[in-house]
Amino acid sequence: MSVRFANNNDGWMERVPRIQKELGEPVIVIQHLSKTYTIPGTDESVHALHDIHLAPESEFYPIRRGEFVILRGPSGGGKTTLLNILGTIDNATSGSVEILGEAISDISSDKYLSDLRLRRIGFVFQTFNLLGTMSAYENVELPMTIRGKLGHKESKERALMLLETVGLQDRIAHLPSELSGGEQQRVTIARALSNDPDILLLDEPTGDLDTLNTIEIMNLLLRINKERKTTCVMVTHNPDVECYADRLLYLEDGRFVKQAINKVQTPLVLEQYQEYLRKKDE
């Protein structure tokens, strides 16, 4: 699909389809973003992203504060690559990336980027990545201890409050190995929220979960997105959770090929969804 450029940036929000929810200012803007991986020891390279945009001038406009965006598309399409670049854990080969009004570039220092990640971006992956020797409570408290902004009492209170938010007030002393997959993912989400990030980046957060836990985790994310206005960018292969997004972006062969808007975010209802899955299997 072609990228349509206007003559200027003025009034781009007028072109954006209206949704029920109020969104804020742009928090992710990318222009001419490309990523090529070179395969070590060979002349071969893989073009994971090709000149993509999330920009005022493009039909794929910037991601705005409070927006819930789901990235979909076939395997190898570039979804994780894009998420890693947005999370500043990988570099673009060319193009520009602006996160929360700050330009990210090759010359951004490691200290600056790690500080940005610690303060303003939360990560949730398919595999829960919890520290196995630490309790749920200690896992959630850790990023606050690393940041060092809160005193011990405040960070303890905040960790307990976050564990309550994700419904794990009765599991605070459990080790990850003593928790179910859904519970571990809740701890990961609580940990990702510990420094009150502006953006949550989620890579297949329900990939390892059953139907009930998928719905519970998606409902939790929806609540966080709406109540805290946390911008969510989530990669998933599950088309059934598209209803949770404000916007769906489809990436194929390293390019955005399609975008769809949900005027209203709609949670799945467990019984109806189970019935739908049963009928689909018949």
Ligand X SMILES: Nc1ncnc2c1ncn2[C@@H]1O[C@H](COP(=O)(O)OP(=O)(O)OP(=O)(O)O)[C@@H](O)[C@H]1O
**Chain residues in the site for ligand X (CB under 6 A):** 37, 46, 48, 73, 75-81
Q: Closer to ligand X at the Cβ: 80 or 274?
A: 80
Amino acid, single-letter form, for residue 182: G
Cβ 219 to ligand X shortest distance, Å: 24
Q: Closer to ligand X at the Cβ: 46 or 103?
A: 46
**Sign of the alpha-carbon dihedral angle for 48, 51, 56, 61:** negative
Contact between 137 and 159 under an 8 Å Cβ cutoff? The reply is: yes
Q: How far is it, in rounded angstroms, from Cα 19 to Cα 17?
A: 7
SS3 sequence of 222-252: HHHHHHHCCEEEEECCCHHHHHHCCEEEEEE
Q: Closer to ligand X at the Cβ: 73 or 143?
A: 73
Q: Closer to ligand X at the Cβ: 106 or 271?
A: 106
Cβ 80 to ligand X shortest distance, Å: 3
Cβ 73 to ligand X shortest distance, Å: 6
Burial of 211 (0-12, 13-18, 19+ CB in 10 A): middle
Cβ 37 to ligand X shortest distance, Å: 3
